[in-house]
């Protein structure tokens, strides 16, 4: 997915010389191709993320299309006030890219883990939130972000988990994508980012008739589509490498409660910090987001109905 991101940056930069890439002293190897192909469009703002957002706002006012890159623990979390007041308040078309969302930077501790970024960003007016699951969704999200007339936060999680699509999916902004076709019935899975592949694996193992939907667009999201999915399901299981408070599970529950009440199991990070540092796989296991723990949680939930 990071390679796809690099390719999209180069493509957009070559297409539009007003597209500028700003980084907070991160991503050197990632931007090698962009710096080679579009050297005059690259700005290293240094470890000063708040200033970088203010710079991007000024550039957007001057007619440029800034892409602001950082680790998701810093962009958007550290710079939330600047995003809100400098960019979103005046509806400026700035693309914010938060890399390493969730537990990707697990060994660096709580300061670099980002499990609250969706909740923080989706409550800000004029700020869309995208969360691609693979390189195909990343390309769709980058194109949608570039065409947007307002601010977008694009969240990149674990990037080496493989594809969930076999080709570029037909997608519209706000729409979810069916990655495993099933029949209307008991259980439907909705997932985003790194947990889409896990949802597919769990459905293949024990829920052969279940549909699995990927949600690359958290905000906006097609409420009619969500309503239709909930109406056809007895239980909806939502998976995300993010807090259960304010993330995709909350989005689905909010829509369902108003238009199509259904039992919803929200699987994500509970209301706590990580207890220890370790590998990405260790952190997923500590928080009960590994495949076996998720499957057991679903079985327990369904048994209690």
197-245: per-residue pLDDT in tens? 999 999 999 898 999 999 999 999 999 999 999 999 999 999 999 999 9
Tell which residue, 185, 180, 231, 169, has the closest CA to residue 202: 180
CATH fold group of domain 177-303: Rossmann fold (3.40.50)
Provide the pLDDT confidence category of residue 92 given band limits of 50, 70 and 90: very high
Q: Which class is domain 2-156?
A: alpha beta
Annotated domain spans of the chain:
2-156, 177-303
In the predicted structure, residue 184 carries a pLDDT above the cut 70? no
Q: What are the structure tokens assigned to 253, written together?
A: 């529950």
29-79: per-residue pLDDT in tens? 999 999 999 999 999 999 999 999 999 999 999 999 999 999 999 999 999
- Separation CA 130–CA 119 (nearest Å): 12
Phi, psi at 153, each rounded to 5°: -105, 120
In the predicted structure, residue 132 carries a pLDDT above the cut 70? yes
pTM, two decimals, is: 0.97
- Separation CA 204–CA 251 (nearest Å): 25
Mean of all residue pLDDT scores within the chain: 96
Question: Which residue's entry shows tokens 């099933």?
Answer: 182
- Domains 2-156 and 177-303 equal at CATH topology level: yes
Q: What are the structure tokens assigned to 156, written together?
A: 């990149």
Residue 274 · residue 287 · CB < 8 Å:
yes
């Amino acid at each position: 997915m990071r390679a796809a991101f690099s390719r999209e940056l180069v493509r957009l930069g070559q297409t539009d010389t007003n597209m500028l890439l700003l980084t907070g002293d991160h991503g050197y190897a990632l931007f090698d191709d962009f710096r080679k192909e579009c050297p005059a469009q690259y700005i290293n703002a240094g470890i000063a993320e708040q200033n970088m957002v203010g710079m991007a706002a000024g550039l957007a006012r001057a007619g440029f299309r800034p892409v602001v890159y950082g680790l998701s623990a810093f962009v958007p979390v550290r710079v939330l006030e600047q995003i809100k007041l400098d960019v979103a308040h005046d509806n400026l078309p700035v693309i914010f890219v938060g890399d390493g969302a969730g537990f990707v930077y697990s060994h660096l501790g709580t300061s670099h883990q980002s499990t609250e970024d969706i909740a923080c960003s989706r409550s800000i007016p004029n700020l869309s939130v995208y969360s691609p699951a693979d390189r195909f969704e990343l390309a769709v999200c980058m194109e949608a972000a570039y065409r947007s007339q307002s601010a977008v936060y694009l969240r990149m999680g674990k990037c080496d988990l493989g594809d969930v699509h076999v080709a570029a999916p037909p997608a519209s902004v706000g729409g979810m994508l069916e990655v495993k076709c099933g029949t209307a019935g008991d259980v439907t899975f909705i997932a985003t980012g790194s947990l889409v592949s896990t949802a597919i694996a769990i459905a293949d193992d024990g829920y052969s008739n279940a549909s699995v939907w990927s949600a690359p667009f958290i905000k906006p999201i097609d409420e009619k589509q969500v309503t239709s999915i909930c109406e056809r399901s007895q239980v909806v299981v939502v998976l995300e490498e993010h807090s259960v408070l304010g993330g995709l599970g909350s989005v689905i529950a909010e829509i369902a409660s108003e238009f199509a009440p259904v039992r919803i199991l929200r699987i994500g990070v509970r209301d706590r910090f990580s207890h220890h540092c370790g590998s990405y796989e260790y952190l997923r296991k500590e928080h009960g987001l590994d495949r076996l723990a998720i499957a057991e949680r679903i079985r327990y939930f369904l048994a209690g109905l």
